Amino acid sequence: MTGILDDNVRLLKEIFHKDMDYSLRTFELFQHRHAAIVYLNSLVDQEVINHDVIKPLQHYEAPEKEPLDILKFLIDNILYFNDVKKVKDFSTIISSIVQGKAVVFIDGIAEALELDVVTKEKRSIEEPETERVVRGARDGFIEHLSTNIALLRYRLPIPEFRVEESEVGARTKTKVVVCYIEDIANPTLVEEMKKRIDAIEIDGVLDSGYAEQFLEDNPLSPFPLLINTERPTKVVGNLLEGRVAVMFEGSPSALIAPATFNQFYHTTEDYNEHWVISSFVRVFRILALLFSLTFSSLYVTVISFHPELIPAKYVVAASSGRHSIPFPVIFEVLLLELAMEVLREASIRMPQQVGGALSIVGVLVVGQAAVQAGFVSPITVVIIGMSTIGSFAIPLYNAANTFRMLRFLLIILAGTLGLLGLALGLMVVVNHMLSLRSFGVPYMDPYAPFNMKAMKDSIIRFPFYKLKKRPSNIHPQDQTRLGEMEKHYTNYNFLDKEEREKI
């Protein structure tokens, strides 16, 4: 930029002349020096500009002797802003304006002042729709990055909690922060995350899902290799274990690395309930996961190739509903599975007031009509309904989508090769999961390789006083998270002998 105000203003007008929200306001500084402030009025707080920038600059009386460094004098004596700095490069000035900042030019000075007067509309903090809990905190992330960081700092008021900022997206310049606890997280893990973020080359990042596909170890795998969540408590819990979280401006989801299959059926609520109840619920989630993946294909296998596996007392019930069905069982199951996926997708995209009614009416009316018309058998409707319900019990939405997709693969293999095809499909899925890694951590840990200590927080969650060590698979710097504790209960009567006699 130059020190001539008119030249700078003319260059900016050439750049922003098609933008209806471009604003230029000229005024007099010290009653004799020409100045101008430039901003996009759709991004800034104009009341702040009027009262905290233009008004004090115009009304400030000229000093007897003009200071040598006028910009420094303005920063130190007139402009009461935390975020104000000098800028000289014209490309930096343009970038600042489009990010919602105001720039003050003064005639005769080859530098400008950049003021952070940006205002952002944001929604209120509320519980995430896809991660509801019965017992636990009700707050969730929103699209405003500063608010999300505040939600984490509220729960981690320690100086070791680090939030390091960078940018991704050649055009969007999206802010991204890497969060970790300095004396717990492995430095190698932190540096690897930063390295992968810096390597992202894309025009724009509009949500964390864009970057997730660049940060994964194996982008071809359908399994999620990073955990995404909208719950601050879940992020803090993982940070305390030594993991790293990444958050993006404009996205209500945080990404957590490394991820393992074990986290598919874990929720934050598991740690709020008694360990026996949590373990009981986790077992049912595992059963629901297996149920969702294999029940439909197992039904196809038994009906098509291995009817001898059906107990004798149920043979009539299983075969009577199919005697009038003109289609093979594999076509019948695939048809219903596709119908369920269409109904699920339609209920998500429809308005909330209509979506619930659509899914219920679709299942009841369409299913009943299909049975009466002779297209599908009643038992097939029951099987597909139960496998679909099982998929809804998986806490992670993207993990549930993966298993729903794999269900189609297993149904096709079971319908063509029978029990051999089902076993082959399961072997391929399990071998693929065994080959996966998330930031160097085996995906199937602690099952393969087997880690007895880590099994304390897997299908069965042990009491907290038994979970003294952090997960060893992510190699945290501080292995211990629980100090030595005395027996946490005593088996005696609180009332002394005299009090008991009175009672």
pLDDT, tens only, 472-481: 888 899 888 8
Between CA 180 and CA 438, with CA 286 as vertex, the angle to 5 degrees is: 35
Three-state secondary structure call for residue 405: helix
DSSP designation for 351: -
Does 488 have pLDDT greater than 70?
Answer: no
Residue 249 DSSP class: T
Could you report the per-residue pLDDT of 270-295, keeping only the tens digit for each? Answer: 898 899 999 999 999 999 999 889 99
Distances (CA, A) of 430 to 292, 298, 406, 421, 444: 15, 17, 12, 14, 9
Q: Is residue 494 pLDDT above 70, yes or no?
A: no
Give residue 154's pLDDT band: very low, low, confident or very high (50, 70, 90).
very high
Does 491 score more than 70 pLDDT?
A: no
Q: pLDDT value at position 327? A: 79
User: 185-207 pLDDT, tens per residue?
Assistant: 999 999 999 999 999 999 989 99
What average pLDDT does the chain have?
A: 86
- Mean pLDDT, rounded, for 2-14: 89
175 neighbors 167 (Cβ within 8 angstroms): yes
CA distance 298 to 310: 12
Phi, psi angles (nearest 5°) of residue 427? -65, -40
Burial class (CB in 10 A: 0-12, 13-18, 19+), 235: buried
* Cα 266 to Cα 234: distance, rounded to the nearest angstrom: 10
DSSP-derived secondary structure letter, 276: H
Predicted local distance difference test score (pLDDT) of residue 181: 95
Q: Would you place residue 320 in the very low, low, confident or very high pLDDT band (cuts 50, 70, 90)?
A: low
State both tokens at 299.
Answer: 């039904």
Predicted confidence (pLDDT) at residue 498 exceeds the cutoff of 80: no
pLDDT surpasses 80 at 108: yes
pLDDT value at residue 359: 60
d(CA 175, CA 168): 7
pLDDT of 490 > 60? The answer is no
Q: Record the tokens describing residue 382, joined without a space.
A: 């029951």
Return all residues near 340 (Cβ < 8 A) that are at least 6 apart. Answer: 363, 384, 385, 388
State the first-to-last Cα distance of the chain, in angstroms, to the nearest integer: 90
Distance CA 130, CA 397 (A): 7
Neighbours of 68 (CB within 10 A): 7
Identify how many contiguous H helices and E strands the chain contains and give both numbers: 18, 12
**pLDDT-wise least confident of 251-265, 298-312, 400-414, 427-441:** 298-312
Residue 489, pLDDT above cutoff 70: no
Is it the case that residue 355 has pLDDT exceeding 70?
A: no
For residue 499, what pLDDT is reported?
A: 58
Rounded Cα distance, 252 and 206, in Å: 11
Q: 76: closest CA among 87, 84, 65? A: 84
Residue 301 has pLDDT above 60, yes or no: yes
The b-or-e profile of 278-302 (16+ CB within 10 A means b, else e) is bbebbeebbebbebbbbbbbbbbbb
What letter does residue 253 receive in the DSSP assignment?
-
Which residues are paired to 87 by β-bridges?
Answer: 112
Edge-to-edge strand ranges of the sheet holding 22-29 = 22-29, 33-40, 102-106, 112-115, 84-87
With a CB cutoff of 8 Å and minimum separation 6, the contacts of 73 are 63, 67
Residue 487: per-residue pLDDT: 52
Q: What is the pLDDT of residues 356-391, one digit of tens each?
A: 556 656 666 777 777 777 778 888 888 888 888 888
Instruction: Specify whether the CB–CB gap between 115 and 84 falls below 8 A.
Output: yes
Is the peptide bond preceding residue 463 cis, with omega within 30 degrees of 0? Answer: no
Q: CA 412 to CA 425: how far, in whole Å? A: 10
Residue pair 224/398 in contact by the 8 Å Cβ criterion: yes
Answer whether residue 503 shows pLDDT above 60. Answer: no
Return the pLDDT at 149.
94
Burial of 396: CB neighbours in 10 Å, binned 0-12, 13-18, 19+: buried
Task: List the domain boundaries for the chain.
Answer: 5-115, 145-259, 274-442
Query: Which pLDDT belongs to residue 280?
Result: 93
Cα-Cα-Cα-Cα torsion 339, 340, 344, 350, nearest 10 degrees, comes to 40
pLDDT higher than threshold 90 for residue 348 = no
Residue 178 has which token pair?
């890497």
What lies within 8 Å, CB to CB, of 155 at 6+ separation is 232, 233, 236
Higher-scoring residue by pLDDT: 28, 347: 28
